[in-house]
């Protein structure tokens, strides 16, 4: 009555689900890289880490009386706004164009920024505030143009 029970190896027990899951993961990685989303993800992550770009631009916006008259007191740009926005770096990450939402006590708007890096400082070539809602206040306020 002494029978030896042979246990299956880990691979023998789990190969039926491991092979298809591995295939799906490899296909997802290939599609992600080939679609260009890796570059978009890199740009968003870089903008997320570069708080000086947004903070310095926001200081210029808060100093403009036209913006304060329409939007009121403007809240700091939160990290979610950066993730929701659009960003594109170029010229070896020396130039950036981005658009993020900003929120004031009287309304919301989009902040458009174009800048290039000079000696680790951002030099702004364009800062615009685009106000769409409410419709009677719809306008674009140019803070910096070049």
In order of their start, the domains of the chain are 37-145 (3.10.450)
> CB within 8 A of 91, min separation 6: which ones?
116
Among the listed ranges 65-69, 70-74, 88-92, 130-134, which one has the minimum average pLDDT value?
130-134
**pLDDT, tens digit, 9 for 90 and up, residues 94-138:** 899 999 999 988 888 999 999 998 888 889 999 999 987 667 778
Q: How far is residue 132 from each of residues 34, 59, 129, measured CA to CA in Å? A: 36, 22, 10
Distance CA 90, CA 36 (A): 15
Residue 84 has a pLDDT of 83
> CB within 8 A of 71, min separation 6: which ones?
102, 104, 105, 106, 107, 108, 109, 129, 131
Distance CA 134, CA 107 (A): 8
Pairing relationship of beta strands 95-103 and 108-118 according to DSSP bridges: antiparallel
Residue 1 has a pLDDT of 65
**pLDDT, tens digit, 9 for 90 and up, residues 26-58:** 999 888 778 777 777 777 777 777 788 888 999
> CB within 8 A of 53, min separation 6: which ones?
47, 96, 98, 113, 115, 122
* Prior bond of 134 cis (ω within 30°): yes
Q: What is the pLDDT averaged over residues 64-74?
A: 89
Q: Is 23 helix (H, G, I), strand (E, B) or coil?
A: helix
């Amino acid at each position: 009555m002494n029978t030896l029970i042979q246990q299956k190896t880990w691979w023998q027990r789990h190969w039926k689900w491991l092979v298809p899951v591995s295939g799906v993961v490899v296909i997802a990685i290939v599609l992600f890289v080939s679609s260009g989303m890796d570059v978009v993800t890199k740009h968003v992550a870089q903008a997320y880490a570069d708080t000086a770009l947004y903070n310095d631009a926001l200081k210029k916006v808060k100093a403009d009386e036209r913006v304060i008259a329409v939007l009121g007191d403007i809240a700091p740009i939160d990290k979610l706004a950066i993730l929701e926005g659009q960003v594109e770096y170029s010229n070896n990450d020396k130039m950036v164009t981005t658009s993020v939402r900003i929120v004031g006590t009287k309304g919301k708007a989009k902040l458009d920024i174009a800048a290039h890096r000079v000696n680790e400082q951002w030099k702004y070539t364009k800062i615009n505030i685009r106000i769409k809602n409410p419709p009677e206040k719809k306008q674009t306020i140019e803070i910096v143009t070049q």
